[in-house]
Amino acid sequence: MPLAYNTNFENESGLSEIFDNQVGTTASLDATHVKDGSRAMLIHQTGTANASKRTLPSGTRFLVSRLWFYFLANPSATWQLYSITQATQNAVLRITTSGALQCGFNGGTFQGATTATTNTWHSVDLRYNYDGTTYTADWIFDGVPQTQATLAGAPGDMTQAQFGTAGATNIDCWVDQWAISFNQADFPLQDVTTTYTVTFPALSPAPQVVVPVPIGVPRTKERAVALARQYLHTLADQPLAASSLSGAASSLTVTFPALGQTPQTAVSVTASSRHRAFALARKALHTSAEQAAPTVA
């Protein structure tokens, strides 16, 4: 199922494009520490309220989420990294003063004693259920399943996803590759992909390759380019039918049928025969894959 929301903090001009309610002004897009790409979100909390909140759709009672985080030193007081707000009891992912990552509900028992190492990127997968008389939080920390957190309550809607807290805590923490789904079956989101379009400008018309890359893969854009180059080589070597050729000898167009979800690719060449046109078009694709400086969007 498609994600309800995901961001790697690369394409926004500011956090106001992601969060509709921000308390405090010390959260920002920052390039100091990134999981992938060139930016992450920095939560710089210095003893005053700093919370970035995104409103959830009405009726949200199931939520699956994934995020990566990185922090320099343990917080001065137990700190809420990520929380899901609800009318009576919030679900909270927090870091203690000893660096333990814990998951639970306000008013309930928090689970987790594993230390989150400083100066290291960590992944967390979460699944919250507020639809019954027992709230549940399933979670995975750095690929290792953790003890489920529970709390008795009445069915109710979640209202916001929030980073940071109003507490008097000192911490610098970066967040990257944040994703949300409202489908329970999506848990965990480790294999969910983000899509890049790689354009090779050396050819006219410039072939575009749509590349899905798993969220959290290191150097995602570089990985997308590598996969796109591989795709062009594979495309160039597939069989072509006579119907793939159109135009006159002075400007023939060879259309390569799409592989997977990527659009068809057309290559214009000048040739006197179909076989010659196919050969030139294949060579052009191979050359473009190796020598072009593609753009990634």
Q: Is 94 helix (H, G, I), strand (E, B) or coil?
A: strand
Same domain, 183 and 199: no
The verdict on 38 and 160 lying in the same domain is: yes
Specify the DSSP class assigned to residue 221.
H
Show which of 139, 171, 189 is a domain's final residue.
189
Please give the residue range of the domain that contains residue 266.
195-296
Give dist(CA 66, CA 180) in Å, integer.
Answer: 7
Which residues, other chains included, contact 128 with Cβ-Cβ below 8 Å and sequence gap of 6+? 62, 63, 64, 65, 84, 91, 135, 136, 137, 158
Mean pLDDT to the nearest integer, 267-294: 89
Look at residue 1 and tell me whether its pLDDT is greater than 70.
Answer: no
Looking at the fold, whether 27 and 134 belong to one and the same domain comes out as: yes
165-224 residue pLDDT tens = 866 688 999 999 899 999 999 999 875 567 788 998 888 778 888 887 766 566 678 888
What is the arithmetic mean of pLDDT over 96-125? 95
Same domain for 199 and 181, yes or no, is no
21 & 137 share domain: yes
The reply to whether 254 and 171 lie within a common domain is no
| Listed range (24-38, 95-109, 117-131, 143-157) with the worst mean pLDDT | 24-38
Q: Note whether 199 and 182 are same-domain residues.
A: no
What pLDDT sits at residue 215?
A: 60
To which H or E segment does residue 99 belong?
none
The pLDDT assigned to 30 comes to 95
Give the other-Cβ count within 10 Å of 248's Cβ.
Answer: 8
Q: Given this model, what pLDDT does residue 108 score?
A: 94
**For 40-86, how does the pLDDT look when each residue is reduced to its tens digit (9 = 90+)?**
999 998 887 788 999 999 999 999 999 999 999 999 899 999 999 99
* Residues 37 and 157 reside in one and the same domain: yes
Counting the structural domains of the chain, the total is 2
| C-alpha triplet 263, 193, 131: angle, nearest 5° | 130
Residues 225 and 292 reside in one and the same domain: yes
Last residue of a domain, one of 189, 220, 238: 189
- Number of residues written out for the chain: 297
**185: DSSP letter:** G
Query: 262 CB contacts (<8 Å, ≥6 apart)?
Result: 208, 209, 210, 211, 231
Q: Residue 192: its pLDDT value, please?
A: 59
Residue 94 sits in a domain whose CATH number is 2.60.120.200
Cis before 214 (ω within 30)? no
| Whole-angstrom distance, CA of residue 21 vs CA of residue 54 | 7
pLDDT at 6 over 90: no
pTM tops 0.75, yes or no: no
Q: Which of 156, 189, 222 is the last residue of a domain?
A: 189
